[in-house]
Chain A
Amino acid sequence: AQSVAQPEDQVNVAEGNPLTVKCTYSVSGNPYLFWYVQYPNRGLQFLLKYITGDNLVKGSYGFEAEFNKSQTSFHLKKPSALVSDSALYFCAVRDIAGGYNKLIFGAGTRLAVHP
């Protein structure tokens, strides 16, 4: 069965420092990976996805993610954190069992950026 793990419940970082939110996955076949962000009292917003091609994927709000097939990881990164980046981040993998477009989500990581 396909699954996603986000090993950290919370990540704390100072404003201006680089940030990393970790994600590992388990899939059969080629992985289709996504990152979503949830700001307080808002829905999930799409950040970026990896389907194929370059291992470094660039997305919205200055975020990027690095796909590493050997480590089965898809960590989210940003070179310089902003206080406004504080939110709940979800990694997801597309479940291809049955062929339909279902997303399997990790438990989420809360990012807190301190001034």
Chain B
Amino acid sequence: EAQVTQNPRYLITVTGKKLTVTCSQNMNHEYMSWYRQDPGLGLRQIYYSMNVEVTDKGDVPEGYKVSRKEKRNFPLILESPSPNQTSLYFCASSLRGRNSNTEAFFGQGTRLTVV
């Protein structure tokens, strides 16, 4: 089954404790991205990756890092989480990053709470 898998689904952590949210897709998609969803703001893009070893900032990248060492994986790293990063996070993938009208596939989300 074609899917995007995120882990963990739920996470409560303390301020400053580094964490990683994993994302993996099995569709051989080139393009992957991370979004955060906040009430009244919809989804905003954090980082994206056009292909292996090619990443760039989205609209709200502060406080986050990503890496793309393999095509299928795109982890989101919070080096020093703060309470304002409490949010619902989604990983997404689509076939290509440029000149593509195909839809994006989303993971089930990670609800992160930073206390």
Contacts and interface: CB of A to CB of B under 8 A. Distances in A.
Contacts of A102: 33, 45, 48, 58
A100 B48 contact: yes
Contacts of A106: 42
B4 interface: yes
A46 B103 contact: yes
Interface residues of B, number: 29
Given A101-B31, A102-B45, A107-B42, A43 B107 contact: yes
Contacts, number: 60
B101 interface: yes
A107 B101 CA distance: 22
Contacts of A105: 35, 42-44
Nearest to A91: B42
Contacts of B98: 99-101
Interface residues of A, number: 25
Nearest to A52: B101
A74 B40 CA distance: 20
Interface centre among A4, A42, A105 (most CB of B within 10 A): A105
B76 to A, nearest CB: 15
Given A101-B94, A107-B42, A108-B42, A51 B101 contact: yes
Closest 6 CB pairs of A and B: A105-B42, A44-B106, A43-B108, A43-B106, A105-B43, A46-B103
Interface of B: 4, 31, 33, 35, 40-45, 48, 50, 58, 90, 92, 94, 96-101, 103-109
Interface of A: 4, 6, 9, 32, 34, 36, 41-46, 49, 51, 90, 94, 99-103, 105-108
